């Protein structure tokens, strides 16, 4: 079992920044996919960014140039630096971890553990 604890969400004005954190404990996820997804009210869950070492992070188009994904050296924590936030970024953000897959990490089907989510609200 893997436990995921997310933090860092909040309310900001458009143009602001937030840094989301996800700490994984329990069964190892080192070397496997880790990612952030998000879901806005009334919309389907969508990918934000993912990493499957040693490959560089991959981003959804809306995240490129504004969001930066990183991990700690132990690969048990995941961070998402979000800059130049827009009202359309308002959503619940979920951390996801795989203990079985290390490729095609932007696919939600790769993940067998999900966090509870952290809310991001961006006002105009």
pLDDT score of 65 more than 70: yes
Residue with tokens 């989510």: 117
Tens digit of pLDDT for each residue in 80-119? 999 999 999 999 999 999 998 888 898 888 899 999 999 9
Sign of CA dihedral 46, 115, 80, 91: positive
Question: If pLDDT is split at 50, 70 and 90, which confidence band does 54 have?
Answer: confident
Choice among 31-35, 40-44, 46-50 with the minimum mean pLDDT: 31-35
CA distances from 34 to 77, 121, 124 (A): 9, 23, 30
- Which one has a higher pLDDT value, 26 or 18? 18
């Amino acid at each position: 079992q893997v436990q995921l604890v997310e933090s860092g969400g909040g309310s900001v004005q458009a143009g602001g920044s937030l840094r989301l954190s996800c700490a994984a404990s329990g069964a190892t996820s080192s070397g496997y996919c880790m990612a952030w997804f998000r879901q806005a009210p009334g919309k389907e869950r969508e990918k934000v960014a993912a990493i499957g070492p040693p490959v560089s992070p991959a981003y959804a188009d809306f995240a490129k140039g504004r969001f930066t994904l990183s991990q700690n050296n132990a690969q048990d924590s995941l961070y998402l630096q979000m800059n130049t936030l827009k009202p359309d970024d308002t959503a619940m953000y979920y951390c996801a971890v795989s203990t079985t897959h290390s490729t095609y990490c932007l696919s939600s089907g790769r993940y067998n553990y999900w966090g509870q989510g952290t809310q991001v609200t961006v006002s105009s």
